[in-house]
Amino acid sequence: MNIQETATKIKSMEIRGAGNIGRAAASALKDLALQSSDMAPEMFQELLNDGVETLTNTRPTAVTLTNALTAVMAGAKGGTIEELKCGVIAAADRFIAHSIEAIDKITDLCAARIQDGATILTHCNSSVVVKSIIKAHDQGKNIKVFATETRPWGQGYITSRALAEAGVDVTLIVDSAARTFMAETDLVIFGADTITGNGTVINKIGTSQIALCARERSVPVLVCAETYKFAMDMDSADSVIIEERDKKEIIDPDKMQGVKIRNPVFDRTPPELIDTIITELGAVSPAKAKELIESEN
């Protein structure tokens, strides 16, 4: 897929979810390299830079996009077009392979933490969370899931259908019912778009409210996040841009004359409300996540 096609699909959310966005961006740069030939290295470098800019300007919140593009661009080394192309292709392949491997490792770690008989509540649609729940189910554990609808875009429908198809006992609930159903919940599991150095999790709007409800009832909160979801250089989440999407995703504004409508689609959950972050390197408290990742680099 070319850069423009990929950018359009990310913007329109045909490609969505932080991991998918990162892999799609890496793949688009790889395709650009595969399609480029017979040009000066400077020209190719310029095409790459334009591609990075176009992809970066799609959605602002998930750091996976920036981290994927940075990882692939690190491969653009050499004096000839062939060297540059090979470097970009190899770096994109490495990023994508690492991403898939990371998801598999997190799935194993997360499934192991899901107890037989547990009732889980999840929000939005995280591919790694869905995989983990299905793995626990496939291990023979008798589990139940509450999946929030996830207004306004309805990612919870994707989650519910995927779990039901896999045979998991899943109940779809409206977002505002999360506190009610917390009384029957043993474990909350979220994905993440970005995690800052201090362990703040930026994920789908509503995540922080659900985390608060979980804390009220001492229900543990797990976050599944590959290490490329960390913005290691950001110590505070204030600098993470929260995407605000079209108000039409909420309601036709013509039906709401004189009413302002806001549609921020992510929020920031502070580390105090999260018990454990599961990365491919292991499970840690939010306060220790940065240290764990730095010790591996």
Instruction: Give, in order, the Cα–Cα distances in Å from 238 to each of 57, 235, 242, 285.
Output: 19, 9, 9, 21
Residue nearest to ligand RUB (CB): 191
Among residues 110, 124, 213, 224, the one annotated as catalytic is 124
CB of 17 to ligand RUB, least distance (A): 3
- 22 or 271: whose CB is closer to ligand RUB? 22
Active site residue 38: no
- 31 or 226: whose CB is closer to ligand RUB? 226
CB of 7 to ligand RUB, least distance (A): 15
Dist CA 121 CA 223 (whole Å):
12
Instruction: Give, in order, the Cα–Cα distances in Å from 184 to each of 133, 141, 213.
Output: 17, 17, 12
- 35 or 57: whose CB is closer to ligand RUB? 57
Active site residue 124: yes
Angle CA 187–189–195, to nearest 5: 135
CB of 137 to ligand RUB, least distance (A): 18
Among residues 31, 193, 213, 224, the one annotated as catalytic is 193
Dist CA 99 CA 134 (whole Å):
19
> Under 8 Å CB-to-CB from 37, ≥6 apart: which residues?
81, 85
Binding positions for ligand RUB, rule: CB under 6 A: 16-20, 124, 126-128, 155, 191-193, 203-204, 265
CB of 270 to ligand RUB, least distance (A): 17
Dist CA 131 CA 236 (whole Å):
30
- 128 or 234: whose CB is closer to ligand RUB? 128
Dist CA 186 CA 156 (whole Å):
19
Catalytic (active-site) positions: 124, 193
